[in-house]
Amino acid sequence: MKILVVNCGSSSIKYQLFEMPEEKVLAKGMLEKIGEKTADAIHDHHEGMRRILKDMHDIKAVGHRVVHGGEYFKESSIIDEKVLKIIEDYADLAPLHNPHNLTGIKAASQALPNVPQVASFDTAFHQTIPSYAYLYAIPYELYEKYRIRRYGFHGTSHRYVARRAAELENKGKYDLNIITCHLGNGCSITAVKKGKSIDTSMGLTPLEGVVMGTRSGDIDPAIIFYLAERRGMKIKEINNLLNKKSGLLGFSGISNDVREVRKAANKGNKRAELALDIFCYRIKKYIGAYMAALGHVDTIVFTGGIGENADRLRREILEGLEELGIKLDKQINDKTHQCEALISSPDSRIKVWVIPTDEEARIAHDAYLLMEPL
């Protein structure tokens, strides 16, 4: 069964065509410059979708990555009018993503009118987080009225690597307590108790939590008032500063890419070195917090571009945690890049895995399961 997976951004469409259930990738690519003013630009997402589908036949379902599903979706769902309306309603909380995800859904439904469309939500896996962990200590009416709460993101990735870790350890998916670290351009950490997310570092939006490529992660909210009142910055500017100009980029002044920051640090750039120290320290703190939240931890998993590749950062994050039961096998850790590997030493009480994530394949898998009974 052929399933197309689509991830629509403001001016791009990323796609992969899968043969399911084998998860064989038949085609993949990315269209850029959609709706831009350059000579080689693609007019709009509808034209983009037509180009993608030109040489594709027999597609049985289209799976869409949708960032925000709010409190409505605990799993992937076949898209109908009601689902569309909810995605639209949450555009307010995910203005950079949901509107473009919707455009992608509309373009794909128009190009393939009789093919079911499926939405996989970044927020869905985190819908099991208990209220004491998802509510902020602000007036309760703000939750009731505006649904301001922790939602969490990267759910498809956290769920997959947690399930896969259990499989690799020959355990059932509800047997283990796991801390999953998704470290890519965006970074988030999740506490998974017996297969269910019970807390995660990202919040109402992907800005909260650990330090990221260009996002600050947790800060004292009073910094915002200080910048607005004392420095005269506009709210829009501060938003841009915290989302686009902070994190590794903002601190190092070099790049949002860990590799570039590491290169500079190796050449003696102190701020680059400090940026990496802050990055690791903040992840270490979340791991410690989630060890307490879980009470007992069996496994830690690293995934995402940084988690799968940056062996030295993994080492630095877990350094000094031997007394908490975490001991890396340095040789295996340093050799592990973009492949599944157990990187803890045999006498480590907590197992540490690197597990490459594959969000597109998970979306295809969910769409396939939803199509199967038909």
Residues that bind ligand ADP (CB under 6 A): 184-186, 213, 257-259, 304-306, 309-310
The vertex-317 CA angle with 290 and 224, nearest 5°, equals 70
364 membership: H or E segment, kind and range:
helix 359-371
The helix/strand/coil state of 356 is coil
Q: How far is the CB of 2 from ligand ADP (least distance, A)?
A: 24
Whether residue 220 lies in the annotated active site: no
Q: Which two tokens stand for residue 9?
A: 């951004």
Q: How far is the CB of 200 from ligand ADP (least distance, A)?
A: 15
User: Of 43 and 259, which has the nearer Cβ to ligand ADP?
Assistant: 259
User: Of 185 and 345, which has the nearer Cβ to ligand ADP?
Assistant: 185
Radius of gyration of the chain (CA): 21
Question: Bridge partners of 7?
Answer: 14
Listing DSSP states for 253-264 in one string gives: SS-SSHHHHHHH
- CA-to-CA distance for 243 and 245, rounded, in angstroms? 6
Terminal-residue alpha carbon distance, the chain:
12
Q: How far is the CB of 215 from ligand ADP (least distance, A)?
A: 11
Q: Which of 44, 55, 80, 122 is catalytic?
A: 122
- CA-to-CA distance for 59 and 17, rounded, in angstroms? 9
Listing DSSP states for 48-61 in one string gives: HHHHHHTT---EEE
User: Of 9 and 116, which has the nearer Cβ to ligand ADP?
Assistant: 9
Q: How far is the CB of 305 from ligand ADP (least distance, A)?
A: 2
Listed in sequence order, the residues at least 6 apart from 175 whose beta carbon sits closer than 8 Å to its beta carbon are: 166, 194, 195
Q: How far is the CB of 308 from ligand ADP (least distance, A)?
A: 8
- Helices (H) and strands (E) in the chain — how many of each? 15, 12
User: Of 52 and 258, which has the nearer Cβ to ligand ADP?
Assistant: 258
In the complex, residue closest to ligand ADP by CB = 305
User: Of 299 and 309, which has the nearer Cβ to ligand ADP?
Assistant: 309
Residues labelled catalytic? 122
